[in-house]
Each structure stands twice: as C-alpha cells, then as structure tokens.
C-alpha cells in the first residue's frame, strides 16, 4: 500500500479522497491555488503545496507544478479526482515517467475513450449498441450526407467533448453549417481540437450509466446503474440508483455486456459507461468517463462499497475480491448537486457563505468542502455540496431528500436548492415519468438555459 498520496484536485472531491486515505492510514498532500488557501482540503491534508494563481490553467491544470509538488513532498501516487486532469492521458503518462502511480485507468484506455467518436466505434465493435452517427466531419457535404443518412434531428458533438460543451441540435439541413461551425469553435476553445461528429438526436431520452471497476489482473465488475436524467445544459443535477427503467433481468444483461467489453480492452480502475434510453427503453452507448464520477456516492449508498478506497487498492495492485460479476443493490439512493447558482437562471453565484448548516439524520450524507465564512470563488465549478440520501425504497428516499433539502441552510449566496425542492415535489418525478427536458417546466426562458 502507498505511504503518501497527492490529490491533484480541490473542493469536496479532494476532501473525499483525504477521508479515504485517512481510513487506509495513508498520508496526504493537498495542492491548492491562491484562491483556495483557506479551503478545507488544505486544512485536513497532512501537507499542502501552493501550485499557482487562481486560474485553473495556472494551478490545477499545471502539470509541471503538480508533479513538482509530488516530488518535493515524497508522494508515491497521485489521485486526480474528477475534472481538471482526471481524464488526461498525457498527465497519466507524465506520472508514469516520473515514477508516480496514477490512481486511474491506463493512458491507453483514457485515449481510446477520450475521443468520443473512437469510443463509439470501439464499443460497437465490442458488442454494445450505439446511436447511429458519423465519423469526424471533414466537409459540409459530408455533414449533409451523414445527417440525411441518420435522419433529422441530429446532434453535433465535440469528438473530445464532455459537460455539454461543443454540442448543437440540428433539425433541418439549413441549420447544419452554422451549427457545425459554432460547435467546432466551442470544441477548439474547450478541448483543444475542433473535431466534431454527428449523432442521431433522441427527442425524449433518459440518461442511464453503469459504474464499473477493473483490477490489474483482468477482472471487471459493475456496481449497477445510476439514473442521471435530470439535467441542465447537459450537466447532471439529480442522480439516483437504481433506475426505475431497468428490472433485474435488464440490469444483469446490460451489465454483463459492459463487463465483457471492458475486459476485452483490459480496463483498470474506476469508470462509468453512459447510455441514452429512448422511448422504447432501448439503450445506446453514449460515452465512457474514465474516472470516478461526481455521483459515485449514490452507488456507494446502495452497495455499501467505498469506491475511492477501492480505486486506491486497485492502483496498489490488489485484486477485486468480490464473487461474481456484479454487486447487489440494497434500497434506493438519490443525490442532489447543490450548486452556487441562481435557481431561476442557473447563473453562477460566487461569494462568501455567511451561514452553513448541513442536514443530518438517518440515511443522509453530505459531501462538501463549504463552511460558514468560506468563499465560493468564481474561477471553478459551481458545485457546493452533494446531498445524498438512502431509503428502503424510492418513495422513502424522495421523502427523505425533501426533508433534508428543507433543513439545508446556505446563506450569503444563491443556490439550486429551490429547484431541487420543486423536483422532489413534482408528481411526474415521483412517478418516475421524466426525460432530459424535465427541468423546462420550472425555468422561465428555458430554451436559453436548459
């Protein structure tokens, strides 16, 4: 087992990794920007190193500074968390070259799945169903031909994309050239490459993903699915497990397909295979995230497995010692991502938190790095806290979440809590009747926001 791990991240995920390391008896090194000097991950780590100014490019994305921090503190491994460098194959390779263990998948798998178009092609070859689509678009003529073949509406998507960036819906041929240009510009700015491809657009989809874990000895397990359909700007706001749309037979069938595909490519450590479900409950491979997910706590609540500790064990060479190919789920869990955002427009709301009281009680978990008098800086993601609850069934989980939201006090900034409360109270949500456009009913000028 490692003696010391550096966490190349900030906020609640950095604190989450520190908690796992403390339970494993591993020393931790926090890195921080000047804006995060008084953050909790800095306080609770055994050591902390400032790696630059507030801008991500000068700090949390600065590979040289992070590697230097690991070397001067004697860290043996680096946990990237999620976001920032978590899915950078280049960063993983630099770690290897610097004799540091990267706690995540191998760089080859990250490159394979990081290019969304290549990932679709690979998964199709490995037997997973994929949405009809194109290769990388090389000309307007090719785009028009491929869109006609797939059938309108289509989605223009960044090949190296994620988080809703570089995406445009196109309903007619006349809209296609402008949409491609706009998506290419956004993709180049966000991901360093303008490559985009086309995909058949499913009008009323649900977003369902499978949590997987693979060791270095050829074993891959899945830990059931998460329903991540409640979104804004293609970013998740509410997640739950299990999904109301999959029965045990479907769960085992799709999970077995996922496990088999990832065993063939020798996948290691944590990953999430994401699907879109159409109105007929057909699942289509969407993409794979080669890291721990924001919403991993949902799966932890229904499986009783600490996925972050498992990541560390796997990186140290341990075997997955579970019987079979899947893990049993117990009860129902829901997560609300509490963000520093205006609940009417989702505009960011940075500033000082003047009062902070997280809810508690049976079946309630709060992952956060916020506290009273802490500052939510304007430079990073707006996530403040992950509020996760677990109940014996979905109805109890929804009731528990509604209670916890009511008791969650955050003052000084705007938050998304009012939106979450509307979702929990909505009859259709409670009945399991929703798709990715669900939030439109709560938001004015929703076409500009959702």
Q: Crossing angle of helices 394-406/417-425, nearest 10°?
A: 150
- Those residues whose C-beta lies under 8 Å from the C-beta of residue 384, and which sit 6 or more positions away, are 338, 339, 340, 353, 368, 370, 376, 410, 415
Residue 109 Cα distances to 56, 115, 125, 300, angstroms: 25, 10, 15, 24
> How far apart are the C-alpha atoms of 443 and 254, rounded to whole Å?
34
Task: Please give the Cα distance from 363 to 390 (Å, whole number).
Answer: 5
CA distance 67 to 61: 11
Are 240 and 227 in contact by the 8 Å Cβ rule? The answer is yes
- 121-135 as b/e, with b when 16 or more CB fall inside 10 Å? ebbeebebebbebbe
Catalytic residue among 10, 291, 337, 365: 291
Burial of 51 (0-12, 13-18, 19+ CB in 10 A): buried
Q: What is the C-alpha separation between 23 and 237, in angstroms, rounded?
A: 29
Helix, coil or strand: residue 392: coil
Longest CA–CA span in the chain (Å) reads: 60
Alpha-carbon gap, residue 403 to 140, rounded angstroms: 53
Residues in Cβ contact with 180 at an 8 Å cutoff, skipping those fewer than 6 apart: 137, 140, 143, 156, 168, 196
Per the annotation, the verdict on 3 as an active-site residue is: no
Handedness of CA 103, 106, 109, 115 (dihedral sign): positive
**Unique residue bearing structure tokens 């307007």:** 140
Structure tokens at 266: 């020798």
Q: What does the DSSP 8-state code read for residue 334? A: E
CB 367 within 8 A of CB 338: no
Question: Which residues have a catalytic role annotated?
Answer: 291
């Amino acid at each position: 087992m490692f003696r010391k791990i550096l966490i190349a991240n900030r906020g609640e995920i950095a604190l989450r990794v520190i908690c796992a390391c403390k339970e494993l008896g591993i020393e931790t090194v926090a890195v921080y920007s000047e804006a995060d000097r008084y953050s909790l991950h800095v306080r609770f780590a055994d050591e902390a190193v400032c790696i630059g100014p507030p801008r991500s490019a000068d700090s949390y994305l600065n590979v040289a500074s992070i590697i230097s921090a690991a070397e001067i503190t004697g860290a043996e491994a680096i946990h990237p968390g999620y976001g920032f460098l978590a899915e950078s194959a280049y960063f993983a390779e630099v770690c290897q070259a610097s004799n540091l263990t990267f706690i995540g998948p191998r760089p080859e798998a990250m490159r394979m799945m990081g290019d969304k178009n290549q990932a679709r092609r690979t998964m199709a070859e490995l037997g997973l169903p994929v949405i009809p689509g194109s290769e990388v678009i090389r000309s307007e003529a090719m785009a028009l031909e491929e869109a006609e073949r797939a059938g309108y509406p289509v989605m223009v998507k960044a090949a190296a994309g994620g988080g809703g960036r570089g995406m445009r819906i196109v309903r007619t041929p006349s809209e296609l050239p402008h949409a491609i240009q706009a998506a290419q510009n956004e993709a180049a700015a966000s991901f360093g490459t303008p490559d985009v491809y086309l995909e058949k657009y499913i009008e009323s989809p649900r977003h369902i993903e499978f949590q997987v874990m693979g060791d270095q000895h050829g074993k891959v397990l899945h830990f059931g699915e998460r329903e991540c359909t409640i979104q804004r700007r293609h970013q998740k706001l509410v997640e739950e497990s299990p999904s109301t749309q999959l029965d045990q037979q479907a769960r085992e069938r799709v999970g077995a397909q996922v496990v088999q595909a990832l065993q063939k490519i020798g996948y290691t450590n944590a990953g999430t295979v994401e699907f879109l479900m159409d109105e007929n409950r057909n699942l289509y491979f969407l993409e794979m995230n080669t890291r721990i997910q924001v919403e991993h706590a949902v799966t932890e609540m229904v499986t009783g497995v600490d996925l972050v500790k498992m990541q560390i064990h796997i990186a140290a060479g341990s075997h997955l010692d579970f019987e079979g190919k899947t893990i049993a789920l117990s009860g129902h869990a829901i997560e609300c991502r509490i963000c520093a955002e205006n609940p009417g427009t989702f505009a960011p709301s940075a500033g000082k938190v003047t009062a902070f009281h997280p809810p508690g009680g049976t079946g309630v978990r709060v992952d956060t790095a916020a506290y009273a008098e802490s500052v939510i800086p304007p430079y990073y993601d707006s996530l403040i806290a992950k509020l996760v609850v677990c109940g014996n069934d979905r109805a109890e989980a929804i009731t528990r979440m509604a209670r916890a939201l009511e008791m969650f006090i955050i003052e000084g900034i705007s938050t998304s809590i009012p939106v979450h409360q509307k979702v929990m109270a909505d009859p259709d949500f409670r009945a399991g009747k929703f798709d990715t456009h669900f939030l439109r009913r709560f938001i004015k000028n929703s076409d500009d926001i959702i």
